[in-house]
Amino acid sequence: MAHEARRPLTLLVLSSLALGSPLGLGCKKTQPTPDATVTTSTPGQASATPPPVPPLSPGARTEDERNTIGVFKACAPSTVFVTQRRVMVDYFAGVAQEVPAGSGSGFVWDEAGHIVTNYHVVDGARSLTVTFHDQQELDAKVVGLEPRKDIAVLKVEAPSKLLVPIKVAKTTQLEVGQKVVAIGNPFGLDHTLTTGVISALGRQVQGAGGVSIRDMIQTDAAINPGNSGGPLLDSTGQLIGMNTMIYSKSGSSAGIGFAVPVATIQRIVPQIIKTGRAEQLGLGIGIDPMQKLERRLGLRGVVVLAVPPDSPAAKAGMRGITQTGRGITLGDIIVGIDDARIETFDDLYTVLDAHKPDDVVKVTVVRGEETTTLDVKVIVLNPSGGN
């Protein structure tokens, strides 16, 4: 029945086409109205060019646009492109050569040629180069590294005209929602600007050194591979952080990026420039950052392995592991400092990092079946280690 119902309509259409009736579309010519304009083109000939769109006058830009442009013009000369090279060996050809092995961003710290970037940008590099705003490329050497804060300081011998130090915020009263500008070299595309806002403050994120970086700035400004080490700026063009990492399953920006706060940079960078390393605070005791013994015994806390004689910890009465004829006897297990609970090395490092040398902290330890509290002075550790 459905098939038979369609046949009369088909015959009607065919009949209409043959007779030139109004249903015969394409057969009847339509005359243009007097006011109509008809544009025709022959095959192979381009159609008429549309009229150009008049640009906005400079005064028509929004205040926010003018601010973003001003920040970029002021800070782009301070932003650099850091490239590391590693040695690749071709065993079949019997040759070894340096090849690019990664890149990131950085910024000029001072007129002496110091460049600040991320530790993970330069980690494992055989050689490093820094490319400036005018595309001039110079060799760089490592001055010092702080893996626990993901900070590295490089140095270049450059003409003074290239060394435009970044403006560092003296005081930072950051607020969620305020505008931020990121400049970097994502995917090797030099001096790329992205904007956003501060999404959150006080984030704690595990860094390249295996411990948490505190007080990280979270932003939705697009940060991609290659942005690492670049500056995060406020609307005055002052440094408020260093872009460090993103939270993304795909490896590209997902609107959640993190930056090392400028307060940390201001504290660490001068130390590295002065001594070649960052100042590390601790209690002057022997511990294992990998916590192999704690994991083996299922302990929550930090085992004190050794206490050097005449150290502040020894004077406070802290005890380490002792060797007896029956084996090893545990001494103190640190489970708290002041009001903070200590379960891992990361906890211990984070709490002590917030102090200053000669501060006295209350260390809670488990000793056998007893729990006691000791007053221990915080000291600057020597490069050989300890904590």
Active site positions, annotated: 120, 150, 228
How far apart CA 316 and CA 386 sit, in angstroms, is 17
Residue 156: Cβ-neighbour burial (10 angstroms; 0-12, 13-18, 19+)? buried
SS3 content of the chain, % helix, strand, coil (to 5): 20, 35, 45
Amino acid letter at 1? Answer: M
Classify strands 179-184 and 332-337 as parallel, antiparallel or unpaired: unpaired
Q: Do 207 and 148 contact (CB within 8 A), yes or no?
A: yes
Q: Do 179 and 197 contact (CB within 8 A), yes or no?
A: yes
> 349: closest CA among 148, 118, 145, 146?
148
Residue with the two structure tokens 């008429």: 48
CA distances from 245 to 116, 181, 248, 261 (A): 16, 16, 9, 13
How far apart CA 336 and CA 346 sit, in angstroms, is 13
Pair of tokens at residue 334: 């640190």
Let me know the angle formed at the C-alpha of 104 by 102 and 108, rounded to the nearest 5 degrees.
140
How far apart CA 178 and CA 202 sit, in angstroms, is 15
Secondary structure letter of residue 238 according to DSSP? -
